[in-house]
Structure 1
Amino acid sequence: MSEQPKKPLPFVANFAAGAIAGVSEILTFYPLDVVKTRMQLSTEKSQGFVGTFRNIVKEEGAGRLYRGLVPPLLLEAPKRAVKFAANDFWGKTYLDLSGEKKMTQQLSILTGCSAGATESFVVVPFELVKIRLQDKNSTYAGPIDVVKQIIKKEGILGMYNGMESTFWRHIWWNGGYFGCIFQVRAMLPEAKTQQGTLFNNFISGAVGGFVGTMINTPFDVVKSRIQSAPRIPGVAPKYDWTYPSLAIIAREEGVGALYKGFVPKVLRLAPGGGVLLLVVEFTLGIFRQALGPPYI
């Protein structure tokens, strides 16, 4: 009797695995995100990762490293869930459209970019609130105060300030992340044990996180600049559309400024990408065992 192929896990399993993984990652690495944002918003000569970290603790207290934690924490569950569920959906869709039986690297990159585009629509309001709270000059009382003031001064659509830049940031990161995961997994020795599988997942996720960060950091810098500045009616913002803003930063501050915050960002997203994939695959494995055949 021929072996029956494994049945894909239901949407709720991918949703839950992505949510659990996202919360695990952000609780571990959040202070690095605060340092990254501070470095990106500064138009002065960079103090570097260590200098920025030290100044935040010295001048504002260690608690400031968790300023703005609530919005991303609330966001991580739906964000990561949408990321992996969308990646699963687009992967199956592109396989059907292409006629391929197995995922190729080209399809993996296309799938990742499509998942990133899908994810970007969910994250913008949360990212906006987080950036406003992480800014050194922030005077907001908390997340609710940010939302109230944005809606009052900029209207409900003000909550989607930075939508276009977020769209590009997520497309490029997800394309690099999922594309690398596919390639690195293919290069690693086949795992013979569960521990070996988890190790391979961590390595491929970490490499994917590093490459995704290399590609998308300039877009992240622009997004932070766009979202940090409140919109004033009748006044054209300095940073508005993504690609013109990239040119402005490169011209005024040098090309290197497009990689401000790279060190804390990669310190978070390289191992964070590994942790993310590790937890996702581990959680999906638990679901497969619980559901039994034909999911195993």
Structure 2
Amino acid sequence: MSDTKRILKEAAIQIGSGGSAGFVEVCIVHPLDLVKTRLQIQSKVLNKNDPKSYTGLADCFRKMYKHEGLFSFWKGILPPILAETPKRAVKTFSLAGLGAGTTEAILVNPFEVVKVTLQANKAHSGEIPSTWAVTRQIVTENGLGLRGLNKGITATIARNGVFNMVYFGFYHSVKGFLPEYENQYKEFFKKVCIGFVSGSLASCINIPFDVAKSRIQGPQPVPGEIKYRTTLKSMRTVYKEEGFMALYKGLLPKVLRLGPGGAIMLVVYDYSHNYLTQKFA
């Protein structure tokens, strides 16, 4: 087999493996992403008995299940599937870091706007509009620009860029210091642990930008008035009105999502890559 064909075959296997891993990860951990968004767009805790306000992670899960149904935990899943599957496929063998995060943010931001809009809808899961209906409404009312399908793009760029820069920088630095195990299970467990710590650290650093993104892309407190418009101003408003810790809303579900999510990604990617390599060898 020529070098060109070998490279193309490996690229196809990488894309198939990474895409499959991204798809499975999104399907499994999406409920945590939804809860994270609900907590972030909540400007303050109102009444613990109010079905539209949440005191924390468990309270959000309980009230959503009671008032919106089981399938409400997968509201807005189609946009991340459409965005994350090809993104994961490419990221598997692309250069990591700030540049990669910036590029992916520009590509996935429209999907994020639709996803947050769907996740913020607190109607029963059977009553929410479809992904395409929401997309059409956003474009019709506000267009494709910074008030429409691309609102919050600077916050998305900051969130993704900072996360990738910290995550991949820490991951590769630490991995280089630790010895490689001949036992494949020990080596796999080592990578999962490093990935979990890397993701947790990156989440703690970038979550203020994530909160700003959710506030900008989510429903505004007063209909017809735009309170959260730019990234830094939104962060300043949240800090001034709700305190420093409000910039870390949704951190627990985000870390819980990234831990298992990273493990799922690695397992599915590894099995998919081995299967495709053997099948097309």
Q: How does 1:48-197 map to 2 (within 5 A)?
A: 48-85=56-93, 88=94, 90=95, 111-137=96-122, 140-157=128-145, 158-197=148-187
Question: In structure 2, what is the Cα distance between the partners aligned to 1:82 and 1:128?
Answer: 22
Question: In structure 1, what is the Cα distance between the partners aligned to 2:58 and 2:219?
Answer: 26
Contact persistence 1:202–1:275 (CA under 8 A): no
User: Deviations for 1:84-117, whole angstroms, at most 9, x for unmatched residues?
Assistant: 34xx3x3xxxxxxxxxxxxxxxxxxxx4222111
For 1:208, the equivalent position in structure 2 comes to: 198
Question: In structure 1, what is the Cα distance between the partners aligned to 2:274 and 2:169?
Answer: 22
Contact persistence 2:215–2:234 (CA under 8 A): no
User: Deviations for 1:102-147, whole angstroms, at most 9, x for unmatched residues?
Assistant: xxxxxxxxx4222111211221111111100010446751101111
- What amino acid is the match of 2:228? Y
Question: In structure 2, what is the Cα distance between the partners aligned to 1:184 and 1:282?
Answer: 25
Q: Which is worse superposed, 61-70 or 270-279?
A: 270-279
For 2:51, the equivalent position in structure 1 comes to: none
Per-residue deviation at 1:179?
Answer: 1.6
* Residues 16 and 121 of structure 1: CA distance in aligned 2, closer, same or farther (over 3 Å): farther
Per-residue deviation at 1:54?
Answer: 1.0
Question: In structure 2, what is the Cα distance between the partners aligned to 1:18 and 1:51?
Answer: 34
Per-residue deviation at 1:264?
Answer: 0.8
- Quote the sequence identity (%): 38
For 1:225, the equivalent position in structure 2 comes to: 215
Per-residue deviation at 1:8?
Answer: 10
- What amino acid is the match of 1:143? T
Question: In structure 1, what is the Cα distance between the partners aligned to 2:169 and 2:264?
Answer: 17
Question: In structure 2, what is the Cα distance between the partners aligned to 1:167 and 1:191?
Answer: 37
- What amino acid is the match of 1:199? F
Question: In structure 1, what is the Cα distance between the partners aligned to 2:267 and 2:174?
Answer: 14
Q: Which is worse superposed, 279-288 or 239-248?
A: 279-288
* Residues 218 and 184 of structure 1: CA distance in aligned 2, closer, same or farther (over 3 Å): same
For 1:108, the equivalent position in structure 2 comes to: none
For 1:242, the equivalent position in structure 2 comes to: 231
For 2:42, the equivalent position in structure 1 comes to: 42
* SS at 1:160 equivalent: coil
* SS at 2:149 equivalent: helix
Question: In structure 2, what is the Cα distance between the partners aligned to 1:70 and 1:8?
Answer: 29
Unpaired stretches in structure 2, ≥5 consecutive residues:
1-6, 46-53
Question: In structure 2, what is the Cα distance between the partners aligned to 1:205 and 1:136?
Answer: 32
Question: In structure 2, what is the Cα distance between the partners aligned to 1:117 and 1:146?
Answer: 25
Question: In structure 2, what is the Cα distance between the partners aligned to 1:182 and 1:60?
Answer: 42
Unpaired stretches in structure 1, ≥5 consecutive residues:
1-6, 91-110
Question: In structure 2, what is the Cα distance between the partners aligned to 1:163 and 1:116?
Answer: 12
* Residues 243 and 11 of structure 1: CA distance in aligned 2, closer, same or farther (over 3 Å): farther
For 1:261, the equivalent position in structure 2 comes to: 250
Per-residue deviation at 1:74?
Answer: 2.0
* SS at 1:271 equivalent: helix
For 1:3, the equivalent position in structure 2 comes to: none
- What amino acid is the match of 2:253? P
Contact persistence 2:37–2:116 (CA under 8 A): yes
* Residues 197 and 283 of structure 1: CA distance in aligned 2, closer, same or farther (over 3 Å): farther
* Residues 219 and 38 of structure 1: CA distance in aligned 2, closer, same or farther (over 3 Å): same
* Residues 282 and 173 of structure 1: CA distance in aligned 2, closer, same or farther (over 3 Å): farther
TM-score by length of 1: 0.79
* Residues 137 and 258 of structure 1: CA distance in aligned 2, closer, same or farther (over 3 Å): same
* SS at 1:192 equivalent: coil
TM-score by length of 2: 0.83
Q: How does 1:9-24 map to 2 (within 5 A)?
A: 10-24=10-24
